[in-house]
Amino acid sequence: MSLGRGFYRLLGSLVCAIAFFAGVGNASAELIDSEDLGDGVQRLTYRIGPIEVTSGQNRIVYKMVTAEERPPVDGYITAFRPNLVNPDGTIPKSSSIMFHHGVWINLSRRDATSGGMSERFIGTGEEKTEVVFPPGFGYFHKGTDVWLLNHMIHNLTPAEHTLYITYQIDFVPLTSPKAEGMRGVRPIWMDVMNPNPYPVFDTYKGSGGKDGKIVWPYEAKEDPYKDGIKRNLWTVDRDGVLVWSVGHVHTGGLATDLYLNRDGAKYAGPKCPKPRILRKKLKKNAPRSLRSARSKAAVKYRKCLARMPDVKGDRVHLFKSNAHYYEPAGPVSWDMAMRNTRKDWLVQLKAGDTLEVTTTYETKRASWYENMGIAISYMADGTGGKDPYRTRMDYTGPINHRHYSENNDHGGKLPVVGPDPTGLENGPFASDPFVISGYSYGQGDYRLPGAAGRPPVVEKGDTFTFSLSDGDVGNKIWHSLTSCAAPCNKSTGIAYPIADGDFRFDSGQMGVGGAPTVNRTTWTTPANLPVGTHTFFCRIHPLMRGAIRVVPKGSG
Ligand SMILES: [Cu+2]
């Protein structure tokens, strides 16, 4: 693709510049554990920090990784397991603090799919995926490579924390006999919003198909690629083998799908004509020998069907990374794990092929804001693997990890955080903006006692304006007003509240300073709010709840 080369180059140098400044004054990182796995292979656990997490923060931070925080010698990284921990090594409850993302970037290499940015070689999100390559493959690390970490730690509460990011690396030094014959892999970062540095999009309740799902980007109401850049595609630059892939979605996400497009290719898999013996219904008095021949044919036929690659035209499905929700309430929290590819998933690629990624979100339960759809994949150069048009590759893979106990705080239960705001008396008529401060929406916050918590009122057609307090702006405490279904007063947890309001609104993350904020400190409600009580919450700090009321014109 020739479009926007300059743009990508700019992005790349921007990341480098940020890296330079972020690197100044960062201290204390260490190798905290080293285990010998035999033959010189090591399991190394690194710790970065302390990270002073401020009240309610949800910031993107770039941090240089020091030489002490990565393997000092050349070798292969065969596994990578990230985490976020307290100073004593315990893992904080993810309902209070959450690892929104961590992207490890190798500044010494160029990223394959972003056309000029540095190489994003490991990505983790709130689901804390572990990368474990199939035997014989690893990410080749040079001891002199320079790493940068882009992290986003989301503090859902007012409490400050001191935390560390840890990552356990299985490392095969070049000096190990195990390194002999190993093949290095290159990250192929497939992202529906590639190469955006904050690659997010929204999906809305009720949108997409009748099945209650939306396949992004193809079912988005408006073309998300208006600039003409097909961000979900990547043209394969050399022959090689895809060896591992895993999806990343946010809450509400159901899957990512990876496809291959090859000009002129067509289905070359097994042909499975239905045997004649299965075409006719079996008579009641059919002899046993016929019955047995028929069931044998049926088994053979089913086996054949199961081996058929999913090809439509010259496009073949390579893998569906399903989100497996441990969350009892369904696909509404990050208590989940993605499915990654099987060990035998080795897909032959040719230069000139096009890889394609899509992502699916649920749209029955709620709207989902700031979603991602990424399939982090890895490719080795050279030959090998199987032709996906001939051999089915898209078998279901294993669930990446077990249930994490830090996610055991789901919310949505008693006790309530405040009264049912729909039953409260009218508050004052709104005029001046409501100031959000101290994790409260002011008059609009029904958790406040007595008259202070009554929903403020406007006549139909009028609006409410909310503004961020100077303190919150200065301390980078960003808030949203996001509609949730009334009464929206159940206990707070990772699955509650959600953006399921009957009338949809969302202010975005009010604040200034670039992504993820909307670079605004005020927000005005839509003028078409229907008559009634509208409940809302803060997507960043879900303990914050509010309500406003619209009354018919002339009734004030
Ligand atoms: Cu907030």
Question: Separation of 391 CA from ligand 1 center, angstroms?
Answer: 50
* pLDDT for position 234: 97
Q: How far is the CA of 137 from the CAs of 88, 134, 148, 401, in angstroms?
A: 34, 6, 23, 20
* pLDDT for position 319: 98
For the residues 254-283, what does the mean pLDDT come to? Answer: 95
Contact between 194 and 224 (Cβ < 8 Å): no
* pLDDT for position 368: 98
* pLDDT for position 444: 87
Question: Separation of 205 CA from ligand 1 center, angstroms?
Answer: 22
- Per residue in 447-465, pLDDT tens? 999 999 999 999 999 999 9
Question: Separation of 89 CA from ligand 1 center, angstroms?
Answer: 28
Question: Separation of 540 CA from ligand 1 center, angstroms?
Answer: 5
pTM of the model: 0.92
The residue to which tokens 């008259």 are assigned = 451
Question: Separation of 325 CA from ligand 1 center, angstroms?
Answer: 26
Question: Separation of 54 CA from ligand 1 center, angstroms?
Answer: 13
- Per residue in 302-342, pLDDT tens? 999 999 999 999 999 999 999 999 999 999 999 999 999 99
Question: Separation of 541 CA from ligand 1 center, angstroms?
Answer: 4
Residue 556: band (very low, low, confident or very high) from pLDDT cuts 50, 70, 90: low
* pLDDT for position 113: 96
Question: Separation of 496 CA from ligand 1 center, angstroms?
Answer: 14
Domain 183-270+307-410 has CATH 3.40.50: no
For the residues 16-39, what does the mean pLDDT come to? Answer: 61
Question: Separation of 537 CA from ligand 1 center, angstroms?
Answer: 8
Residue 5: band (very low, low, confident or very high) from pLDDT cuts 50, 70, 90: very low
Question: Separation of 370 CA from ligand 1 center, angstroms?
Answer: 15
Q: How far is the CA of 6 from the CAs of 2, 106, 214, in angstroms?
A: 10, 21, 33
Task: Please say if the pLDDT value at position 17 is more than 80.
Answer: no
Residue 40: band (very low, low, confident or very high) from pLDDT cuts 50, 70, 90: very high
What residue type is 315 in one-letter code? Answer: R
Question: Separation of 440 CA from ligand 1 center, angstroms?
Answer: 8
- Per residue in 500-532, pLDDT tens? 999 999 999 999 988 999 999 999 999 999 999
Residue 284: band (very low, low, confident or very high) from pLDDT cuts 50, 70, 90: confident
Element (H or E) spanning 289, and its range?
A: helix 288-306
Question: Separation of 154 CA from ligand 1 center, angstroms?
Answer: 11
Question: Separation of 456 CA from ligand 1 center, angstroms?
Answer: 19
> Residues with Cβ < 8 Å from 536, sequence gap 6 or more?
481, 482, 483, 484, 488, 501, 505, 545, 546, 547, 548
Question: Separation of 409 CA from ligand 1 center, angstroms?
Answer: 19
For the residues 466-471, what does the mean pLDDT come to? Answer: 95
- What dihedral angle (degrees, nearest 10) is formed by the CA atoms of 153, 159, 161, 166? -40
Question: Separation of 534 CA from ligand 1 center, angstroms?
Answer: 17
For the residues 51-79, what does the mean pLDDT come to? Answer: 95
Question: Separation of 410 CA from ligand 1 center, angstroms?
Answer: 18
Question: Separation of 519 CA from ligand 1 center, angstroms?
Answer: 15
Helices (H) then strands (E): counts for the chain = 4, 30
Average pLDDT, the chain: 92
Question: Separation of 475 CA from ligand 1 center, angstroms?
Answer: 12
Neighbours of ion ligand 1 (CB under 5 A): 479, 538, 540-541, 544
Contact between 497 and 491 (Cβ < 8 Å): no
Question: Separation of 302 CA from ligand 1 center, angstroms?
Answer: 53
Question: Separation of 463 CA from ligand 1 center, angstroms?
Answer: 21
- Per residue in 140-177, pLDDT tens? 999 999 999 999 999 999 999 999 999 999 999 999 99
- Per residue in 372-405, pLDDT tens? 999 999 999 999 999 999 999 999 999 999 999 9
Task: Please say if the pLDDT value at position 494 is more than 70.
Answer: yes
Task: Please say if the pLDDT value at position 89 is more than 70.
Answer: yes
- Per residue in 270-282, pLDDT tens? 999 999 999 988 8
- Per residue in 355-378, pLDDT tens? 999 999 999 999 999 999 999 999
Question: Separation of 513 CA from ligand 1 center, angstroms?
Answer: 16
Question: Separation of 487 CA from ligand 1 center, angstroms?
Answer: 19
* pLDDT for position 392: 98
| CATH code that applies to domain 1-181 | 2.60.120
